[in-house]
Amino acid sequence: MYNLRYGLNYLRHRFVANNRHGIHSPFVYKLIDTVIYDYSPQKVYREIAAYAKAHHPDKRLINTLPLKVYQLIYRLAVYFNPRVIAFAGDDNGVLSLSIKKAVPDAILTDVNRLSGYNSPDWVMIDASRGDIIHAFNDCLQYIQSQTIMLFFNIHRKMEIEAAWKVVKTNKRVMLSIDLFYIGLVFFKENRKEQEHFAIKY
């Protein structure tokens, strides 16, 4: 029943989500066109897959996420070039590898150590491994306009989906992008109103 519900969640997302067409935000359209939908093969993907195969039972699925999500993380890291990245929870190795291949000198730390930095560029939270509202609220004191939050497994359970809705409608959040496996949250202060997008991926 659990897997069936998750499958139905995926089908529902596919039904309501858009692709690049019909997206009126220039920022989001460019992100979709140049990063999210960039399916060109890259050598680094083979390295990521090889690491996953050596350290995880099924290289196609690491901690409930398909390998293509880690390829996307690599592309997003290349595009946004984050310098300080904080994890809420354990890193599975493939995630940090994908980031380090994109930004070799990036600082990877735990959210509990953020007080030593002015502000993180990225905060990464696995929604299947704890209370994401609590993690989100704890991190808000460190968030600035350039910070991006990345939430994984946002449709894994009903209560997680409900928590994701609470997070993305927080008054400090100005933009969210739901890619089913991963949700992106932006705090850009130059935006006049909140916008929320569901994108096929």
Domains belonging to the chain, first-starting first, are: 2-198 (3.40.50.150)
pTM: 0.92
For 90, how many CA atoms within 13 A lie in the half-sphere containing its CB? 6
Strand partners, 176: 185, 196
Residue pLDDT, tens place only, 64-87: 788 999 999 999 999 999 999 999
Task: State the Cα–Cα distance between residues 160 and 78, nearest whole angstrom.
Answer: 29
Residue pLDDT, tens place only, 125-164: 998 888 899 999 999 999 999 999 999 999 988 899 999 9
